[in-house]
């Protein structure tokens, strides 16, 4: 009886700690991704990469506009989540079709937010 109670207590403790572990892992992954993005943001960006980024950004904005319109028509949370997953998948595909990796795209987006020169160059490419 004592062994069974102990085993059940251990299982319950493990189950309750899993969300905390998952959250901690997610925070670690986010910190690592942020660090990688900052490191990549210090690397030079070629004109070709900026053109690829501008193309991907145009496509991502189109996908986002469609997603917002569809989201307004969603009847429940499950449908909204399915739409979000589909939109994210399309966005990743748009980035990869542009010739950039998602990491490269994110690094350039980070640079665009923090570097007025990069921002201006991208705006010129998009006009």
Q: What is the pLDDT of residue 30?
A: 73
Distances (CA, A) of 7 to 4, 15, 75: 5, 12, 43
- Where do the structural domains in the chain lie, given as residue ranges? 1-42, 44-127
CB atoms within 10 A of CB 94: 20
Q: What is the pLDDT of residue 23?
A: 65
Each residue of 31-63: pLDDT tens digit? 776 776 666 667 789 999 999 999 999 999 999
Each residue of 61-114: pLDDT tens digit? 999 999 999 988 889 999 999 999 999 999 999 999 999 999 899 999 989 998
What average pLDDT does range 28-32 have in this prediction?
Answer: 74
């Amino acid at each position: 009886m004592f062994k069974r109670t102990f085993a059940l207590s251990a299982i319950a403790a493990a189950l309750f700690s899993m969300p905390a572990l998952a959250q901690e892992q997610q925070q670690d992954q986010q910190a690592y991704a942020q660090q990688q993005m900052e490191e990549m943001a210090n690397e030079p960006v070629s004109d070709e990469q900026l053109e690829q980024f501008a193309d991907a950004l145009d496509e991502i904005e189109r996908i986002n506009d469609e997603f917002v319109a569809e989201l307004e028509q969603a009847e429940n949370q499950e449908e909204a989540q399915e739409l979000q997953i589909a939109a994210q998948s399309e966005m990743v595909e748009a980035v990869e079709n542009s010739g950039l990796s998602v990491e490269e795209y994110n690094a350039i987006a980070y640079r665009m937010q923090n570097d007025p020169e990069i921002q201006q160059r991208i705006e010129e490419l998009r006009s």
